[in-house]
Copies of this chain bind each other. A is one copy, B any other.
Amino acid sequence: MDYRFAARMRNAPESFLKKLFDVSSDPEIISFAGGLPDSNLIDVNGIKDSAAFVLDEEGREALQYTTTEGHLPLREYIAERYQKRLGISASADNIRIVNGSQQCLDIIGKIFIEKNDRIGIESPGYLGAIEAFSLYEPVIRSVEMNDSGPDLNAFAQLISDEKIKFFYGIPNFQNPTGRSYSKDTRKRIGDIISETDSLFYEDDAFGELAFNQVPRVPVNKYAPANVIICGSFSKTVAPGMRIGWIMAPREIISVFDAAKQAADLHSNYLCQKIMNHYLRNSDYDRHLKEVVSVYSRNCRLICDLLDDMADTGITHTSPEGGMFMTVNLPEGLSSMKLFEEGIRRGVAVLPGIPFYAGSGGEDMIRLNFSNTDEENIKEGMARLSGLLTDLSSF
């Protein structure tokens, strides 16, 4: 039988994730390739207590259908935290709960992108966003990143030259580079999008993972009518519950609701209630402090060990938060080759290729520092060092 799929499915970029999952289940391989938070830092007992409470006290309701918008007390919690932490205006009316912030990418793609519409992203940019948006068949325009964010001249030029539907970026501890926009860049982007009536999709999956725990002002603050901001509890509480959110202007939210309802009626109500109870009855800030102390220690250790490999010709980013960093490879060494040789030598890295909408990423790898302990970091980095020495001596 001949299945006649829609042309858009030919746009699905080849996914590394399947291969990565196979790699990550091999105990002989030390992996810096994945994107998992540290399982040991998940507060299983706290979540278990909240699950017991919800099922005892509100079980019948939590297990029934609910509204598309998402659990109101959870949306209120998110709004209050935005106000308190970031000093931005936020209301539960503008917030919706989704199945992890990946679902925002899909739904925002669906409600904005028509075939051949222009959208803008960072280069390199988040591979999950490229995958989600690609299925709506846009033309993706990339803006180079530097250490303070997207190149502002290129950003302004893109906005003025092409009527992009939106620009997608991760101002805090970007995936893959770990870089953050400077305060000035955030303000300048806010100014540009307000002046040009443009839309900025501010993905803030990592904002709570600042190593120094000092909140950074979001682009949203400078241009709230021009910003969609998304967040997630996957990196801070537990990814397996699939709870993320979007906050956006009312006009966008009402169209978003129609698409979310068609997509799956509503997000898992049981876990929304568990998450709300957990956030309100645990010491979330203390939990975050613990998470961040582990990730920052790991990150520093990896940076130090990479510095020791400087004579192979590599350079690396120096994140101040998040879960990822990137390493630029010596000229002539391909990231796919490093990936494949690495597997053979028991160390997995992620080639940069899927982080580019067009070509690119042959000279770059992403390293994850949230899911490997000190001993494995040392051994894994020793393997990487040996590999780089051997491969770059050709």
Q: Which residues of A contact B (CB under 8 A)?
A: 1-9, 12, 15, 17, 21, 35-37, 39-40, 42, 44, 47-48, 51-52, 55-56, 59-68, 98-100, 102-103, 105-106, 110-114, 117, 128, 131-132, 134-136, 165, 197, 199, 225-226, 234, 238-242, 249, 251-252, 255, 258-259, 261-271
The answer to whether A128 touches B242, judged by C-beta atoms less than 8 angstroms apart, is: no
Chain B contacts for A114, CB-based, 8 A: 6-8
Partner of A240, one of B4, B65, B110: B65
Q: List 17 A-B contacts (CB under 8 A).
A: A4-B112, A6-B111, A12-B259, A12-B262, A17-B68, A37-B64, A42-B60, A51-B52, A62-B240, A100-B264, A102-B262, A110-B135, A128-B265, A131-B258, A135-B259, A240-B268, A242-B268
User: Min CB distance, A350 to chain B, in Å?
Assistant: 15
A134 CB to closest chain B CB (Å) equals 8
A63-B268 in contact (CB<8A): no
Residues in B whose Cβ lies below 8 Å from that of A268: 99, 240-242, 268, 271
Collect the chain B residues with CB atoms within 8 Å of residue A8's CB: 110, 114
Out of B65, B239, B255, which one reaches A63, CB within 8 Å?
A: B239
Q: What is the predominant secondary structure among interface residues of chain A facing chain B?
A: helix
Rounded to whole angstroms, the CA-CA distance of A248 and B165 in the bound complex is: 35
The answer to whether B47 and A258 have CB atoms under 8 Å apart is no
| Contact (Cβ within 8 A) B52 A261 | no
Residues of B within 8 A of A42 (CB): 59-60, 63-64
Which one, B39, B165, B252, contacts A61 given CB within 8 A?
Answer: B39
Distance A9 CA – B261 CA, assembled complex (angstroms): 12
A195 to chain B, nearest CB (A): 11
Given A47-B59, A64-B238, A269-B240, the answer on whether A225 and B1 have CB atoms closer than 8 Å is yes
Residues of B within 8 A of A37 (CB): 64
